[in-house]
Amino acid sequence: MSQSDQGRGQSPLPPAHVAIIMDGNNRWAKNKLLPSIAGHTAGAGAVRRTVEAAARAGVKVLTLFAFSSENWKRPKAEVDGLMRLFMRSLKKEVKRLNEYGIRLRVIGDTQGFSDSLQQEIRHAEQATVTNSGMVLAIAANYGGRWDIAEAAKSLAKQVAAGSLSADEIDETRLHQHTCLADLPPPDLMIRTSGEQRISNFLLWQAAYSEFVFLPVLWPDFDENHFTAALSEYYSRQRRYGGR
């Protein structure tokens, strides 16, 4: 919708897909002289608020960067705490997701997790699979480069098997093998904590995303911040490489 349409009083369409880099949990905890896991626990509350705000706003897909493939480098105690928090959240939030009609998907190399966590992921996905509302995609043990490499590997196997020729590989075919290939690319990407980088998140999918960087630390993120990001998005004129 153009700005002139908005000026005539028509409500702007919400972004179909919002992706968020949830940054600032550790700094939030450090500022309060608390252990890092306290920041991650508070961040889980921000996740709940944001999921509900996005659903109310009419967003079709919300993708949250929960745990990157680089996060394994963090101290073992913090990683272990994150895994326990992920497990608890999966068990606790399924009922709420069903109440909102939200379908859960977890993207990333889930085989890197414990068997019990993998089982809980499958259970949560299956418990929400018939929901027809917003899709909530949790990126866990995910990296944008990993995503592209896995797509390339899948295509290479087809070429080796003789079912695909190298000349048939193009952007469309590679896209079909990436995570979230069946969903629209993110219209809006939000990063909290004031950092202004993409951090290996949805590298392929974010080619034409609008970026909004907010100074708020993730545990303090609420519906007002989400609405502010949407307002900034509505003020942009998307050209997709055109004039």
pLDDT tens profile 48-71? 999 999 999 999 999 999 999 999
Q: At what angle do helices 36-57 and 223-234 cross, to 10 degrees?
A: 50
pLDDT score of 5 more than 80: no
pLDDT at residue 243 in the model: 62
CA neighbor of 213 nearest in space, from 226, 200, 194: 194
69 is in an annotated binding site: yes
Residues 6+ apart with CB under 8 A from 108: 67, 69, 139, 140, 141, 142, 143, 146, 179
The answer on pLDDT for 226 being more than 80 is yes
Spatial CB neighbours of 134, under 8 Å, sequence gap ≥ 6 = 51, 54, 55, 59, 60, 61, 62, 100, 101, 102, 103
Q: 178-195 as b/e, with b when 16 or more CB fall inside 10 Å?
A: bbbeebebbbbbbbbbee
Span 176-188, average pLDDT: 97
Is 198 annotated among the ligand-binding residues? yes
Q: Where are the domains of the chain?
A: 13-143+187-196
Our answer to whether residue 224 is catalytic in this structure is no
**Which residues have CB under 8 Å from 166's CB, separation 6+?**
159
24 is in an annotated binding site: yes
- Per-residue pLDDT for 1 more than 70? no
- Mean pLDDT of the residues in the chain: 94
Asked if 71 is an active-site residue, the reply is yes
The per-residue pLDDT for 238 is 80
Q: What is the pLDDT of residue 2?
A: 43
Is 191 within any annotated ligand binding site?
yes
Task: Work out the pLDDT band at 237, boundaries 50, 70, 90.
Answer: confident
Instruction: From 199, 203, 196, select the one nearest 178 (Cα to Cα).
Output: 203
The pLDDT assigned to 10 comes to: 65
The pLDDT-based confidence of 4 (bands split at 50, 70, 90) is very low
Tokens of 168: 């048939």
pLDDT of residue 159: 97
User: Is 103 annotated as ligand-binding?
Assistant: no
Secondary element (H or E) of residue 95: helix 76-100
26 belongs to an annotated ligand binding site: yes
Q: Under CATH, which architecture does the 13-143+187-196 domain have?
A: 3-Layer(aba) Sandwich (3.40)
Q: Is the pLDDT of residue 239 over 90?
A: no
Q: Which of 5, 71, 170, 224 is catalytic?
A: 71
pLDDT value of position 240: 72
Written as six digits, the tokens of 142 are 């995910």
- At 68, list the tokens: 């990157």
40 is in an annotated binding site: yes
Six token digits for residue 74: 């963090």
Per-residue pLDDT at 141: 97
pLDDT for residue 21 is more than 80: yes
